[in-house]
Amino acid sequence: MMIYDKKIGIYFSTKINDNDFFSGFGTKKTKLKQIVGRDRRIFQLKQIHSDKIVCFNYLNKQEEGDGMYTNDKHVVITVQTADCVPIIYADKKKKIIGISHQGWKGTQLRLTQKMIRQFLNLNSMIKDLRVAIGPSIGSCCYNIDEERLKIFKVEFASYPQSVFDIHLDKPFLNLSYLNYLQLIEMGLNKEQIDFFPFCTKCHEKHFYSFRRDGLPIKKEMTNFVVFS
Ligand SMILES: [Zn+2]
């Protein structure tokens, strides 16, 4: 279940947060330093819309990439989004956390599946993983051009065509659902996955939206995961 914590302005998944794990999907209201404490190191990648995954360690300075994982008990790993899909991962048994950011490019490159493979390489078992898909632009608003539609139809030919939607003769894509289906394809079951049902562009009160607010990107939401 996805719950809004009004006091600190985050949405969080009850599948991830417990005595050991603390995570949140940011809103306009989120002030991360106040939430996690000023003495915690906050780590963020230079996001490049890739499928590059980085393991956090204390030698990391500014690195490029769009996925990150760690078993470090002190660092807060984060991604910034404003319409793109933030995804948070936790191996409840091996105590590993991860986070990734995927727009259309990362989704097409199957970054979320690569994150799961990364966990498997660390000897995680699929059954111990919990994943939360955060607020992103919905299929109500995510209009794509014909060329991009073609790319997705080829890459995800075996997926349900309900990830695409046509209204007013224009193609729309359900990014969040497409990432969900990628997780299902990796062997997770629906009980292990939480997702956020609203659209960042439609819900101006809570979220920044690149598609709504335009360039230059003024503000983004900070999404994070850390050990409690
Ligand atoms: Zn919308």
Contacts of 172 (CB under 8 A, 6+ apart): 139, 140, 141, 142, 143, 144, 164, 165, 166
Quote the mean pLDDT of the chain.
94
62 pLDDT higher than 80? no
For residue 69, the CA-to-ligand 1 centroid distance in Å is 30
Ligand 1 centre and the CA of 83: distance in Å? 10
How far away, in angstroms, is 202 Cα from ligand 1 center? 4
Q: Ligand 1 centroid to 199 CA: how many Å?
A: 5
Contact 123, 138 (CB under 8 A): no
2-137+176-227: CATH class: alpha beta
- Centroid of ligand 1 to alpha carbon of 200 (angstroms): 7
- 13, 23 contact by CB (below 8 A): yes
Ligand 1 centroid to Cα of residue 174, in Å, is: 10
Distance 160 CA to ligand 1 centre (A): 21
CA of 85 to the centre of ligand 1 (A): 14
Domain ranges of the chain: 2-137+176-227
> Is the separation of the CB atoms in 223 and 26 below 8 Å?
yes
Q: Quote the pTM value.
A: 0.96
The pair of three-digit structure tokens given for residue 51, joined into one six-digit string: 């499928």
Tokens, residue 90: 């936790």
Residue 61 vs residue 25, higher pLDDT: 25
| Alpha-carbon span 140 to 165, nearest angstrom | 9
Query: Using one digit for the tens of pLDDT, what is the confidence trace for 74-127?
Result: 999 999 999 999 999 999 999 999 999 999 999 999 999 999 999 999 999 999
Can you spell out the DSSP letters for 114-176?
A: HHHHHHHHTT--GGGEEEEE--B--TTT-B--HHHHHHHHHHTTTS-GGGEEEETTEEEE-HH
The closest of 86, 90, 134, 108 to 227, measured between CA atoms, is 90
